[in-house]
Structure 1
């Protein structure tokens, strides 16, 4: 997975910078703009829905007014004594007089200021086979048409006072009403003793009301009256359509709300009428709703894409301008390898950090050239030194051969002193010629020191004594070869050589008292000391001499700060101490092998 993601990451720096510009700046900016635009659309949609619901609430109140007119008309008819007398006692007058009186009552109701509504129609009937209407019927009516109506039959059976019928078939003459159905209130008429003396049907031409109310509404919006069963009872225009999905959404619950019909690109607002179990529905096309926003949207996205393209171009140019000096420097570095670092970058073309980087690059090239020249000079110098060392090995080898000749002459002449001197000097010369070994065991260093002391005792006629003291555990410690010899030579020449009664040299070797990880080698004499040596004519040269400086330098090269040569002041004589790490290296055949399971090996 990580490898696949790595393949998607650009390798060149300029493309990485460009990708960072796009992902960190452009992409979040685009997402934020789209989110803000959707928020604006939602806010506008909510605002339009609120306004639409205000219109639906006005329709709702207007329809409630129509329903209240029907109830008021019923109350006026029920309280009118003449109407009650005609329905209770139809035989008091003849049929024509009853019809004429009832027609007069209907006209008065229609002309009433409180009840004026030309689209309200009345029908009254008694229980003796008489009925009265305030309209011209669409077809010939009979008493049975009313008496056998399901609503009146149901009221008789249940004792209900009234019923609303929302889909009552229109019975009014087409010259008066062209609506297919009417909204009818079926009610029983009762006297003061709550006895039924007649029946009333008060119908409202709600389609006419609906059209008249919507004449002032915007023509680009569609209004519907939908029943709870999903039937469209009325619509503002014959060509207006409401999708089945929208009807299902509207009639799902008896609540008010709105819904966005994505398929038909419309905003559907609906308001529930609990008294009739109806829904007033308003449908607004989104093209109308967001007409101005769509125009702004096009302008916005055109501007956005232009700015985005400009931003991408500028980002790429910035990335290119930023990485171009680095690419140029990379090419120059490749040329520097091919041309032995003899490359310089022009500094006049750059500014700021790039200029500092260019100067640093040029300085680095100069330093590297100087370093290479110095290394080459040191290499030539090493070759010269190596040549001189090879040349210098001729004389020591000649001396060894001479010593061997002298040794055989001493053996033939049976002069043991000459033989021992030749053997001791041969050991010293052979060790000094072995340039491959810098560290030897302490016991070997002691043997070399004893060989040097033997030669010096012969020279000074055994006028001094030497005492060695060391612990057995340090005899295989590694020490620089010929490190004790310069100290012993210094003690003999400048310490005890001038003593009349001879002198004594103490050579002590062991672990340091302050640090058991350090090895200490001490050479002490009971001679005249450093101050006495200066008084005896040694003022022209320093006490330490070349040999001590040689020892110090070798300690520094081998052990860095862990090795040192120090002069320790004492009451009489001179004491020099060598300090170095305790490096134990026993020979393999002398190492102890632990037995396994009690067995010896």
Structure 2
């Protein structure tokens, strides 16, 4: 309602703008002698008619009055009494706008001079304004009047039929208009209470009339729009809304519970069956299955997943049992195989002492070297050993081979002693040297040499190279193909590097002009033993005490 009143006020402003900007209206008001009076009247009334027929004045009761300063009055309506120019100009409202410093003057209760055939309202809402040209020169006076009482009663008649009444009242309590002429007016006490409220909108309860009053303040007119709703009607409407709300609430709640029950029954029944099957599976019965024909959607997918999981678990358990049986068999074979190295090691020690008693130092040294190799092979708990230890094992093996081949080849070691404690795979260097001795020198003559190089690369990798000047890798492979038992040394090292270092370990064979270069690259891992000086000194002192005690006895 407040917005509608503001729209009507804006209509008056728009009409003034159109009149002030119309060049024909300005020409007639400035120079009425240009045409005869009848032509002037016809042209002005045509402008009024066009404005009334425009889209923003459609179905609005707006009346125009325009005066020039040459004694002429133009209206868009038939007047209740004859129009007298001097009398109109002398009226307080026109005299006020001529002397006022404000460009427009609002008159909320302007006397209605429109013919009763068009408007029966006693008062109109009018705005008075001076018409000025672009040089700010005044060339006429305009009055735009709105029959707000007719509009108010017509617009709000449906609300009156429902028992609600609307009023437009001034701050002093005067009723400007009301939607129902027969309705009881708003009490003065209620209007006083409304006028004392600093807020532009609000509500209050009028105990005298037993009604709720909603009000909104129109600042430009100093009016209040008041809506009065009797409390019985309000409570009755609230009660109806409450009943409708609770009825809809219980209806929707019942429908929701029913749908929830159906959904729960559809979901929980297969889930309960799934729970029973899972309990059976938990008691080692992996042969249970859930029939898939009864379900669909997510439940079917869950059922299929459960059945697939049981099949996979059953196969996995069978595979684990087979692997366990295989591990037991391998463990048994390993325990059985350990007996042979121990027997051989004891036999080597016996042969060594026999050779020493008979002054066969070569045989004794070979027994010592072979014993070292057998002793290291018995230690199955260690995969990585120090480079220093691997060199010693290689030297033991080389000693045996040089004795066998009567020093036909020479072994050279090129590495920094700082790498002594770098970790390398156990028995990784010895097979490379063995491969060079047994294959590279099969048909070679002259100076036969094997060079072992160990170095640290820029990428923090340990590089081990075994180079020989033998017959070459390709020719050695051709000769090896004639053997009944193929060699497994290089293949074994590659597999061990892959198990220990994944993709970081590599073993490459490089063909040289004379001979072969085998290069092994592994991560550089340094493991320096801790110093035990304190414990050694303590042990030394303890030994001295024991020796002194023994000597005294």
Number of residue pairs aligned between Structure 1 and Structure 2? 366
Q: Contact 1:258–1:267 at 8 Å: present in 2 too?
A: no
Identify which of 314, 321, 326 aligns with 2:259: 314
User: In the alignment, is residue 432 of structure 1 matched against residue 377 of structure 2?
Assistant: yes
Establish whether residue 367 from structure 1 lines up as the match of residue 312 from structure 2.
yes
Counterpart CA distance in 1 for 2:351 and 2:294 is: 79
Moved more, 546-555 or 452-461: 546-555
Go from structure 1 to structure 2 and tell me whether the alpha carbon gap of 1:260 and 1:435 turns closer, same or farther (over 3 Å shift): same
CA–CA distance in 1 between the matches of 2:309 and 2:212?
72
Which of residues 496, 514, 521 is equivalent to 2:441? 496
Q: Do the aligned partners of 2:466 and 2:519 also contact (CA within 8 Å) in 1?
A: yes
2:293 aligned counterpart, secondary structure: coil
Rate the CA distance shift 1:502–1:402 in 2: closer, same or farther, 3 A: farther
What RMSD in Å do the two structures reach over aligned CA positions?
A: 4.6
| 1:587 is the counterpart of 2:529 | yes
Q: Report the TM-score, using the length of structure 1 for normalisation.
A: 0.52
Give distance in 2, aligned partners of 1:367 and 1:400: 48
Seen in structure 2, the aligned counterparts of structure 1 residues 573 and 243 have a Cα distance that, compared at 3 Å, is: same
Instruction: Give 1:312 deviation, angstroms.
Output: 3.4
Instruction: For residue 393 of structure 1, give the secondary structure of its aligned residue in structure 2.
Output: helix
**In the alignment, does 2:505 pair up with 1:571?**
no
Aligned pair in 2 of structure 1 residues 511, 543: CA closer, same or farther (>3 Å)?
farther
**Displacement after TM superposition at 1:522 (Å):** 1.1
Match of 2:367 in 1: 422
Whether 1:303 and 2:248 are equivalent positions in the alignment is yes
The residue number in structure 1 matching 2:489 is: 547
Q: How far 1:472 sits from its partner (Å)? A: 1.8
Q: Is the 8 A contact 2:480 2:486 kept in 1?
A: no
TM-score (norm 2): 0.56
What are the residue-to-residue correspondences of 1:405-554 with 2, within 5 Å?
405-501=350-446, 503-512=448-457, 515-534=458-477, 537-540=479-482, 545-554=487-496
> Given the superposition, is the C-alpha separation of residues 266 and 541 from structure 1 closer, same or farther in structure 2, using an over 3 Å criterion?
farther
Q: Is the 8 A contact 2:473 2:511 kept in 1?
A: no
The whole-number CA distance in structure 2 between the counterparts of 1:518 and 1:359 is: 50
Q: Report the equivalent of 2:348.
A: 403
Judging changes above 3 Å, is the alpha-carbon distance between structure 1 residues 429 and 304 closer, same or farther for their aligned structure 2 residues?
same
1:434 Cα offset (Å): 0.5
Secondary structure of the residue aligned to 2:336 is helix
Q: 1:5 is matched with which residue?
A: none
> 1:496, 1:502 within 8 Å by CA — same for their partners in 2?
no
Partner SS for 1:589: coil
Which of the pair has more CA radius of gyration?
1
Per-residue CA distance 1:98-153 (angstroms, 9 max, x = gap):
xxxxxxxxxxxxxxxxxxxxxxxxxxxxxxxxxxxxxxxxxxxxxxxxxxxxxxxx
The 1:221/1:520 distance shift into structure 2, 3 A limit, reads closer
Tell me the CA shift for residue 518 of structure 1.
Answer: 1.1
- Cα deviation, residue 247, structure 1: 8.1
Q: What CA distance in whole angstroms lies between the structure 2 residues aligned with 1:282 and 1:480?
A: 99
- Tell me how far 1:569 sits from its aligned partner: 1.4
Secondary structure of 2:303's aligned partner: helix
Contact 1:503-1:526 at 8 Å conserved across structures: yes
Change (3 A) 1:524 1:427: same
Stretches of structure 2 that go unaligned for 5 or more consecutive residues are: 5-159, 174-183, 217-223, 534-553
Moved more, 366-375 or 282-291: 282-291
CA offsets per residue over residues 23-45 of structure 1, 9 Å max, x none? Answer: xxxxxxxxxxxxxxxxxxxx9xx
Q: Which has the higher contact order (CA 8 A, sep 6+)?
A: 1
